[in-house]
Amino acid sequence: MSSILLAGGAGYIGSHTAVELLLRDKDVIIVDNFSNSNPNVIERIERLASKRVKFYELDTRTSEFEIVFKENEIDVVVDFAAYKAVGDSVKEPLSYYENNLCSLINTLKLMKKYNVNKFVFSSSATVYGDVKVDMLPAREDYPRCATNPYGNTKLIGEEIISDIGNADDNFNSIVLRYFNPIGAHQSGLLGEQTNGVPANIMPYLTKVAIGELPFLNIFGDDYDTEDGTGIRDYIHVVDLAIGHVKAIERLLKVNNGVEFFNLGTGKGYSVMELVRAFSRASQMEIPYKIVERRDGDVAMSYADPSKAKEVLNWEASLGIDEMCRDSWNWQSKNPNGYDD
Ligand code: UFG
């Protein structure tokens, strides 16, 4: 049986991926220090999969991480362990470089020491920077350019992985560039836990819907888009999780060095369209105000997902209505996230 190590596996994307792997009879090991997650997640994963998960509460930057490699035969490592808030990364760049890169390097060093040579890396559409509108959708071979420290950690991470691939013929990696993950597990047992005021649109919207925040701030309605609000490629977190399953299956089958894939739907929705879809799903009017543009935002971002379809046999199957339905289901059933 293949054993898959999920570093940061108790987080938003990691937890959904754990369930999809367990349901497909993969052996899953989760390592997490709960810096942005919650111990209750593990029990919920087990409940959904009707299976036990091997779990270590550890920081992947530390020497203690080695025990996981000593005690297990690992086939593939998936690295979700990273900070991800763009705004915080601008305020605290050093902690972003330290956390995201030290953890990545420690993981790769342990993999080398224990002869584990298959790696899935969580990257982001942020590595495309501000793609000119007539060049959209973004393709994997486009030049990369990060516009904030968080994006830099992903870009440098990609470079580190490519360099290892160039130096070591046995090393195989799939780098997944996520577009905008939203939604939650259909059961309402797993979703995105946010501490404090959310930076991203969907958790903000759901907190407005439960009355915890008074209204949504829409950051600008003067972009060069149909309704003037920003366009993003929102992707259901369960589709994203299945993308990881496909990447792992490919790594277990072929030795193809380092490969890059967009995970998006290929379809962009404006902020206004998302608000309308959410209103339909929640049967609620969402109060909003149009405010200034947010620094660093681009007008439009959406993927060309055709490479993932061709090579990984993966394509998103859930649309914007399902994404809104499941985000709302999660928030309304868990008003305090995993602390309920
Ligand atoms: N937005 C609002 N109001 C809010 C929050 C967001 O109007 O309160 C708008 C933004 O201006 C943007 C859209 O909603 O047009 C999406 O914003 P998010 O903050 O949800 O997501 P981003 O596209 O800014 O960022 C996300 C991830 C990053 C990743 C990036 C890649 O959070 O980690 O996608 O494009 F790097």
Rounded to the nearest integer, the mean pLDDT of the chain is 97
Residue 53, token pair as written in the block: 């998960």
Q: How confident is the model over 94-105, as a mean pLDDT?
A: 98
How confident is the model over 36-81, as pLDDT tens digits?
999 999 999 999 999 999 999 999 999 999 999 999 999 999 999 9
Ligand 1 centre distance from Cα of residue 323 (Å): 16
Q: Is the dihedral of CA 240, 11, 123, 171 positive or negative?
A: negative
Q: For this structure, is 128 an active site residue?
A: no
* Domain annotation for the chain: domains and CATH numbers: 3-333 (3.40.50.720)
Residues 189-222: pLDDT tens digits? Answer: 999 998 889 999 999 999 999 999 999 999 999 9
* pLDDT tens for each residue of 280-319: 999 999 999 999 999 889 999 999 999 999 999 999 999 9
Instruction: Check pocket membership of 286 for ligand 1, CB cut-off 6 A.
Output: no
State whether the beta carbon of 83 lies less than 6 angstroms from ligand 1.
Answer: no
Q: How confident is the model at residue 101 (pLDDT cuts 50, 70, 90)?
A: very high
Distance, in Å, from the CA atom of 211 to the CA atom of 214, rounded to the nearest integer, reads 6
Helix ranges, the chain (H): 12-23, 40-49, 66-71, 86-91, 93-113, 149-167, 201-209, 237-253, 271-282, 306-307, 320-333
Residue 2: pLDDT above 80?
no
Dihedral sign for Cα 98, 101, 106, 109, please.
Answer: negative
Best residue among 206, 221, 294 to mutate for probing ligand 1, ranked by most atoms within 8 Å of CB:
294
The predicted pLDDT at position 1 comes to: 61
Residue 112, both tokens: 């080398």
